[in-house]
Amino acid sequence: MMMLLILLFIHVAASIPASKANCNLDKIKISGGSYSLNEDGDVVTYSCPSGMYPHPGPIQECLSYGWTKQNAKFVCKNIRCPSPAMFENGEYDPKKNVYNIGDVLQFECWSGFELKGSVNRTCQVNGKWSGKTAICEDNGGHCPNPGVPIGTTKTGISYGVENKVFYKCRQGFDMFGSSVRECTEDKYWTGTEPSCREWYTFDTPEEVAEMFSATLAANIEAADPDKEGEDISKRKLRVKKGDPMNIFIILDASKSVSIEDFNTAKKSSITFIEKVSSFDIEPRYAIISYASEAIPVVRLTDEESVEADKVIDKLDEFKYGAHGDKKGTNTRSAFRSLYEMLVLQELREKAQFMKTRNVILLMTDGKYNMGGDPKVELEKIKLFLEIGKSREDFLDVYVFGLGDGTENNELNVLASKKPNEQHTFRLKNVDNMKKAFDSMIDETDAMDMCGLNKEIIDNVFNDQNTDEKKKQTLVNEKFPWIAKITITRPDSQETCKGSILTKNFILTAAHCFHFDEETKYINVKVGTESLPVKNLYRHPQFDRNAKKDKNIISTFDYDIALLELGRRIAYSSTARPICIPCTKSSSWALRMKGEHITCKDHNDFLFKEEQIKSLFIAEEEQKLMEQKDVTIKTGNTRLACLRATEQVKEFKDIADIRDMVTDQFLCTGGTDPHVEPPTCKGDSGGPLIIEYKKRYIQVGIISWGSVNHCSGTKRKTTPVPEHSRDFHISIFSMLPWIEKTVTEELTYLPNLTP
């Protein structure tokens, strides 16, 4: 199925200011906070400490009569959460007129009713209640009780087919979601659960990321913790391997948008393009910038529209000043340009067009000052796509309100209203939108794509609200291809790492295991799941004693092993396969398409520099994994590796160091041109990885180091010795054996020797 994804960045021009001479700067001060003026000095933005908001509003504008609120006294006040306006079939406590940050509401139901949702809800720093709407359910209707979200009032108590319920907010609150919901034959309520918000209430990047969680389990939990068996396709845009997709990105370059914000929006767009392009899909892009008029930066019909790199280049080259002095805000022109592209696409791809899934992500403050109402053009798009009850799934409009002073009602009107989904969000700024982009695509059908991960939002580990269990989950999502291996023998225990190669196989180092190791002693942990091992396969030529005649006490040639699991891995956001070279899946990851691609092409592409940026994963504080950046040395820099290794006193009797460091090994470490972290004992068997455009390709297996600069499994804090080097078995050199051992799930390229 083709998909159409439209991403719209919009800000809106304020009223045209008068002469600044009419606006006295002495009248814009705020008690307890600070303010800033825009470049023209005609718009004031107020800021307050965390947990507070500027009253009576976030901005002032200079108009012909002076400041818009020049007689008001601006002051920072404490953020509060809305109080319950009504609660059906139960009680809540405490009952107060005002609920401050940290206050907790407790709910209980009368006899004969079952409590659904959250028993306890806490007032959060962003003015929202934690948890889910508490509902006292008697299961007496065709549809379940839709509940009364905190701050709303509900009219209607009959829940039969076609019965409706009506919601309202108290004066001064804005409604997000549906004011009217109808019970359907399939026992769903139409529309979206409403919420009543103060103007200062924002969604955090973490909340947005959670709502767009990449896993099926988190998806269901985020929408309804008691819901089972719901069709995931009704929740989010789904990414499937090989699915075509059209992505429209629309950027606002009107006067109200600063150059800095415009450039941040461009960077956010680039982040989004890179994220989408990291999947095994080939989207077609179109970029539109607008102010008084729309300017196509990349057209859907342009040759480069299918090449993400070239689209990014053109977007990066586009300048804020391209619109000249035409700096009005004509949002409708952007929708019109989009509509025209859809019309042209329908003419060229008539058979496939109506199979297209359309998703609009609109970033706006909800205002416009010329061109007319954008809703008119959006209705034309809906009509053209034949969006109705039978085709609701073919259009989703997600609206992200950015910054202070948004028109919340306009945001809500534009957004889709669908059961168990939220389509309207409000974020503090463009930067927060960028942080949330990584989790906006449902990867349920993309779990078997190799080398994917989920980025961790900045500073999450410094957040006191993030508990240890959540931190561990986030780390597992960042490094989902890492396997932790524990060998528990009667007289000892050893730990190693490995990587998820397929649902049945873990790739690791042979030296982690004794020659006659029994598989019952081996346990593999991926994410939170512990798995037994059915078979241990070591390379047949691995023999630690094979080179004693060359004064090598212990050789690591062919230091590779595969663990066949006793139970298949269930792929999820915390358990995914790594990419290895010379497979069809890694060709997708490297964006090398076509039947002519060979293993040599992969090798030449990945190893085209003398020093190649790479990484490995180590455990540091609190047993949490973290990335260690190193460089793979090739050519002359690899010769320097050999010379440094010759200095190790344990190797002084080896006539030719190349007998110890054979061509099977990749070299990292050292102090030139910068100090690189060494590997430690617990890192053995883990992957040496090259990252390419947010895909992770394993090129080596951590084998041995020339210097032990560790205390157990931890790196020492003293300076790293200059001759410290680490060596990793090259995946390229081991591919023939891997192909012979792992015969399912992986499709290998011809001629595995590069």
pLDDT digits (tens, 9 = 90+) for 719-742: 888 889 999 999 999 999 999 999
Percent of the residues in the chain that have a pLDDT greater than 70, as a whole number: 87
Bond preceding residue 721 cis, omega within 30 of 0: no
365 is catalytic: no
The domain defined by 478-741 carries CATH number 2.40.10.120: yes
State pTM to two decimals: 0.61
Helix (H, G, I), strand (E, B) or coil at 307: coil
Helix spans in 554-598 (H): 584-589
Answer yes or no: are the C-beta atoms of 252 and 291 closer than 8 Å.
yes
Q: Please, which pLDDT band fits residue 10 given cuts at 50, 70 and 90?
A: very low
More confident residue, 584 or 236: 584
Given pLDDT bands bounded at 50, 70 and 90, which one contains residue 64?
confident
Q: Where are the domains of the chain?
A: 3-11+205-446, 80-197, 478-741
Q: Tokens representing 391?
A: 């085709």
Q: Which of 684, 703, 724, 733 is catalytic?
A: 684
Interval 557-568 mean pLDDT: 96
Q: Which residues contact 621 (CB under 8 A, 6 or more apart)?
A: none
Do 3-11+205-446 and 478-741 share a fold? no
Whose structure tokens read 């009704």?
A: 234
Active-site residue flag, 325: no
| Residue 309 a catalytic site member | no
In tens, the pLDDT along 317-353 reads 999 999 988 878 898 999 899 999 999 989 988 888 8
Assigned fold of 3-11+205-446: Rossmann fold (3.40.50)
Q: Which pLDDT score, from 0 to 100, does residue 637 have?
A: 92
How many angstroms separate the CA atoms of 479 and 470, rounded?
14
Give the pLDDT confidence of 298-320 residue by residue, as tens digits.
998 888 988 888 999 999 999 99
Cβ–Cβ < 8 Å for 597, 635: no
Question: Across the strands, what pairs with 611?
Answer: 633
The mean pLDDT of 565-580, rounded to a whole number, is 93
* Catalytic member of 511, 539, 602, 728: 511
CATH class of 80-197: mainly beta
Measured CA to CA in angstroms, residue 406 lies from 17, 56, 57, 107, 169 at distances of: 19, 15, 11, 33, 18
Residue 342 structure tokens:
């859809």
Whether the ω angle into residue 283 lies within 30 degrees of 0, i.e. cis, is no
From the candidates 203, 243, 559, 683, give the one annotated as an active-site residue.
Answer: 559
User: How far apart, in whole angstroms, are the C-alpha atoms of residue 632 and residue 669?
Assistant: 8
